[in-house]
Structure formats: structure tokens, C-alpha cells
Structure 1
Amino acid sequence: MANKLSQLDQVFAALADPTRRAIVMRLCAGEASVGELADPFAMALPSFMKHIHVLETSGLVQSEKSGRVRTCRLSPDALLGAEDWFQQQRAIWEARLDRFEAYVMKLKKEKEQAAAKRPSRTARKKGS
């Protein structure tokens, strides 16, 4: 479990940076060379390569070098752990919200029952 959590932490840490999220979004359209990926960003290539390294370490991106060109592609399976985590969180919160709704409905019903037991104002006035 600790190893899986570590992998999940790496994925979330990698996606925490807007540059890396933009790289992942670009790779959703298909593989690209590092040069193509770096082109929209105003940073030196060594700095950009640090982003690629973080994405590779997290498992989100794979790259291979052919001659002088390094090509990157997305590894969508790396997102499965994050997807599982989100589904677990959603289930927890849906259950909490369902319990809260049931509690609110119970309070509403109790209030209605208490109001029904009390005589109405017009009935009280007639009896006076």
C-alpha cells in the first residue's frame, strides 16, 4: 500500500505544476518530440527536461531517443491509481451526503409531526 501511495503521490505532484499539466494535455493528442513539447514554453531546454523527468518518474510519460530526437508519449495507465483514489473519495462523500440528507429529512418529519399535534391558531382563538 505504501508503494502504491508513493506512486499516487508522484502522479499528483507531477500534475500539480501547470507546465507539466500542459505537457500531458499536449500528449493526449499524440506523441511528440521534446522540441515540439518545449516550443510553447519560454524556458531553457535543461529546465524543460526537468519537467519531462518528473513526468517520467511519475510514470505519466515515457520517452525514447532515436538519434538526436527524444520522443515522448503518454502512459495513461499511470492515471489509474489516481482514478481509483477519486472514486473512493467520491463514494465516501456520497455516503456522507446521503446520511446528511436522511438526517435532514428526519428532522423535517419530526417538525411536521410536532406542528400537527399542536392546535392551530384559529382553533385556539375559537376556544377562548
Structure 2
Amino acid sequence: MREGKLMEVVDQRLIESGGIDEREVKRLVHIALWCIQERARLRPTMSHVVEMLEGRTPVEEPPDTQMVVVDFSAMDEEAANGNRMPKIGGAALATQIGSNDASTSTWSYENAMSMITPR
């Protein structure tokens, strides 16, 4: 959302069929971002989520969060240019997206994957 690429989360077939309201997509993404907050106390209850989805409750801007995507398949592999990939806790860092941090770096590797675990 910070990069203005909001519509990239929408299935291309829906975009091609027309009628996609970018404001509605933004509202749904905000709800989703509220639901995945790392701190449980920041996440809305399911009844509140339903109220937001039904439009009975306004959806506030979610707080900035930080996300790290780790490439476990390349933990001990050399990068194509011969440099070792940055490590965090023994795992190779593939992509880091920070909140309001100008020093945020991004690395990209062909075999990167996201590991998502339930809270």
C-alpha cells in the first residue's frame, strides 16, 4: 500500500471484468492488515471484523508493521554474485519491508518463499 501498488492484490480476472472499486479494495486490505497484527490486543474481534466487512463500522488506517520474508531454501547457498546472503537468526534474509524506515533494504533471490504460521 505504501508503494501505491494496491491493485496488485486483486485477481487479474476481476480487474479485466471491470467494476473493481479501488476504495473498496483499500478498505478490505485495511481490514486484512488489522487482522494480521502481531500483537493480539491490536487485532479486532471477529464480530468487529464482520461489522467492518458489512460497512457498519468505519475502518481505520492500520498501524505500520514490519514484515520479514525469509528464504529457507538458500540458507547455506552462495548468492549468484559470490556474496553470502544476509543472515537473521541463522536463516537467510530474502526481503525486509520496514515501517517508515529509510534504511530498509530489499534483497531478491530466485527461490525465495514466504513462511506463514498461525498465531
Q: Answer whether TM exceeds 0.5 for this pair.
A: no
Q: TM-score, normalised by structure 1?
A: 0.21
Answer 1 or 2: higher relative contact order, Cα 8 Å, separation at least 6.
Answer: 1
TM-score (norm 2): 0.22
